[in-house]
A = this chain, B = another copy of it.
Amino acid sequence: MIISTKKLLIIERAVELFAKSGFESTSVQEITEACGISKGSFYLYFKSKESLLFSIFEVFIDRVSKKVASVFEMDSSPKDKLELFLCIQFEEIDQYSDFILMLLREQTKPEDTELFVLMQQMDKQLNDTLKELLVGVYGITIKRHIPDMTIMVKGLIKGYIELIIMYNRNLDFKKLANFLLYRIDSLVSGLTTPFLEEDFILKIDDKKTT
């Protein structure tokens, strides 16, 4: 991931503009104007408007991945790792929140798009990470509940992220992560029969990678 200064400039300005008005509604013209460069120059750095979106996403994923990786390299208890992981989700998404909101809104579905693939890879990565963390914390007995737990933990995270995004709330991420840790505990302790089959997530993620 080596990116020229100019390319980064375009990415940064574009993130802001996309966040404000959406992808379709932001013209290349507006982007180049915001960068103080010519329209022609844009195509020197990006093959198309869509490829810019792709680059933005790449940069974002790169950042999150690095942070998550650092969590695993740390020498702390599984629970602390899970808590840290939750915290990172909030921190990162807080920074890119407007852009993420745009992505949610605009990303056109076509399942073959490069961008879509990227999003799915990211989701799979998130699923894997969560699984590892949950098994780390609750032992292998949790395994049959992984699909449900993954969905539910992601749901809880999303619930609070929406608050951050939609209402620009400044929340104490550390406290929130700690709070959620105990909610996850509650959920786990109450589990009996899983709703989803054990290999549910697996199946989905397999579809993604093939």
Counting from the closest, the 7 A-B pairs by CB-CB distance are A155-B159, A186-B190, A24-B24, A155-B155, A179-B195, A105-B105, A151-B159
Among B103, B110, B155, contact of A160 (Cβ-Cβ < 8 Å) = B155
Query: Which residue of B21, B24, B204 contacts A109 across the interface (Cβ within 8 Å)?
Result: B21
What's the least CB distance linking A87 to chain B, in Å?
13
A49: interface (CB < 8 Å): no
**A33 on the B face (CB < 8 A):** no
Which of the four size classes fits the interface of chain A? Answer: 35 or more
CB within 8 Å of B: which residues of A? Answer: 19-22, 24-25, 101, 103-110, 148, 151-152, 154-160, 162-163, 167, 175-176, 179, 182-183, 185-187, 189-193, 195, 204
Complex formed: what's the CA distance from A173 to B179 in Å? 29
Provide a sorted-by-A list of 21 A–B residue pairs whose CB atoms are within 8 angstroms: A21-B108, A21-B109, A22-B108, A24-B24, A25-B108, A105-B105, A105-B106, A148-B179, A151-B160, A151-B162, A154-B159, A154-B162, A155-B156, A155-B158, A155-B159, A156-B156, A179-B195, A182-B192, A183-B190, A186-B187, A186-B191
